[in-house]
Amino acid sequence: MAELTRRGLIAGGLAGTALLHAATAGGHQRGNGHHGDGGHANFRDHVAVDHAANGFDPHALVRDFDRGRTRRLPNGRVLREWTLDAVDKEIEVMPGVKFAAWTYNGRIPGPTLRAREGERLRITFNNASRHAHTIHFHGIHPAEMDGVPGIGAGEIPPGGSTVYEFDALPAGLHLYHCHVRPLAEHIAKGLYGAFIVDPAGGREDADELVMVMNGFDTNFDRANEVYAANTIAFAYMDRPIAVRLGELVRVYIVNVLEYDLVNSFHLHGNLFDYFPTGTSMTPAEYTDTVMLCQGQRGIAEWRFEYPGRYMFHAHQSEFTELGWQGIFEVA
- Residues in contact with other proteins by the rule CB under 8 A: 1-6, 8-10, 12-17, 19-20, 29-36, 38, 41-45, 47, 93-99, 216, 218-219, 221, 225-226, 233-234, 318, 321-323
Separation between Cα atoms, residue 328 and residue 309, nearest integer Å: 6
Instruction: List the strands of the sheet with 262-267, edge to edge.
Output: 241-243, 325-330, 308-313, 262-267, 289-293
Dihedral sign for Cα 147, 149, 154, 158, please: positive
Instruction: Using the minimum distance from each CB to other proteins, give the nearer residue, 14 or 284.
Output: 14
What is the C-alpha radius of gyration for the chain, rounded to an integer number of angstroms? 23
Q: How far is CA 229 from the centre of its chain?
A: 4
Minimum distance, C-beta of residue 238 to other proteins, in the bound complex (Å) = 12
Our CB check for other proteins shows the closer of 4 and 143 to be 4
- Residue 52 makes CB contacts below 8 A (sequence gap 6+) with none
Beta-carbon contacts of 211 under 8 Å, excluding residues fewer than 6 positions away, are: 62, 229, 230, 251, 252, 253, 254, 265
**Least distance in Å: CB of 32 to other proteins?**
5
103 vs 112 by CB, closer to other proteins? 103
Q: Which is nearer to other proteins, 22 or 52 (CB)?
A: 22
Q: How far is the CB of 242 from other proteins (least distance, A)?
A: 24
Shortest approach of other proteins to residue 237 CB, angstroms?
A: 11
Alpha-carbon span 270 to 96, nearest angstrom: 35
Q: How far is the CB of 136 from other proteins (least distance, A)?
A: 26
Q: Of the two residues 19 and 53, which places its CB atom closer to other proteins in the complex?
A: 19
Q: How far is the CB of 326 from other proteins (least distance, A)?
A: 14
Query: In the complex with other proteins, which residue's Cβ is closer, 20 or 140?
Result: 20
Q: Which of 93, 153, 151, 92 shows the shortest CA–CA distance to 127? A: 153
Q: How far is the CB of 288 from other proteins (least distance, A)?
A: 22
Closest CA to 115 of 55, 169, 159: 169
Q: Which is nearer to other proteins, 219 or 282 (CB)?
A: 219
Q: Are 276 and 170 in contact (CB under 8 A)?
A: no
